[in-house]
Amino acid sequence: MVPTLIAVNTAVYVLTAVQAGNPMYNSLSVLFRELSLVPAYVHAGEWWRVITSGFLHIGPIHLVVNMLALWMLGRDLEIVLGRGRFLALYLVSLLGGSAAVMLFYAPDEQVAGASGAVFGLMGALVVVLRRLRAPAGQVFGIIGLNVVISLVIPGISLIGHLGGLVVGAAATAALVYAPPRNRTAVQAAAIAGLTVVLLLLIWATTLR
């Protein structure tokens, strides 16, 4: 699943770069404008943006950094959780990042990137290591470093990152601490419930 996600993200970047005619300014493409997360457009009914924005990247460096993180974090998590649960974790973390942007960003701000989902994987790894009673200090260090980078470098969505982090940790806790009896059903219900809550939060922003 991790290679597939990397391939999808890369393919979308290439499409936007070709359309823009410049790999450094792919955000100028029509496709990028139609898929990126802009709260005002979601309020107008373009709900697909809360998901599609997570497969867009602004320039090649943004893409490479996120895909490296996805590769490094995702491989082990997919082995532990399994393909289906890992994909559910990735998507709900992405949605968590988008929900945070919808709640706290101005209506006309534009956000894109897989960072919300990647931060969700960081939160997930902490929960898994705690469940296995393994040291998680190094992961906390990585999270802290990334938060500092998000604060220092202009244009990075710290709010989206933190939204993904919190939701990813919550979703993983539901997955790894589910009781043995009816485990799959409990896990599915937990992820579905979390998704509904996030969608309701996003919907609530349209009422402001």
Determine the Cα–Cα distance for residues 48 and 152; give it in Å rounded to an integer.
30
What is the number of other CB atoms lying within 10 angstroms of the CB of residue 114? 30
Residue among 29, 93, 115, 157 flagged as catalytic: 115
List all residues 6 or more positions away from 171 whose beta carbon is below 8 Å from its beta carbon. Answer: 88, 89, 92, 93, 120, 124, 190, 191, 194
For residue 8, how many other CB atoms are within 10 A of its CB?
Answer: 12
CA distances from 90 to 36, 54, 60 (A): 18, 10, 21
Q: CA separation (Å) from 155 to 78, 80, 98, 113?
A: 30, 34, 16, 12
115 flagged as catalytic = yes
Q: Which of 136, 129, 123 is nearest to 96 (CA)?
A: 123
Known catalytic membership, residue 43: no
Q: Which amino acid is at 26?
A: N
Q: Which two tokens stand for residue 91?
A: 């998507």
Please return the burial class of 134, using the count of CB atoms within 10 Å of its CB with bins 0-12, 13-18 and 19+: exposed
Q: Catalytic residues, which ones?
A: 115, 161
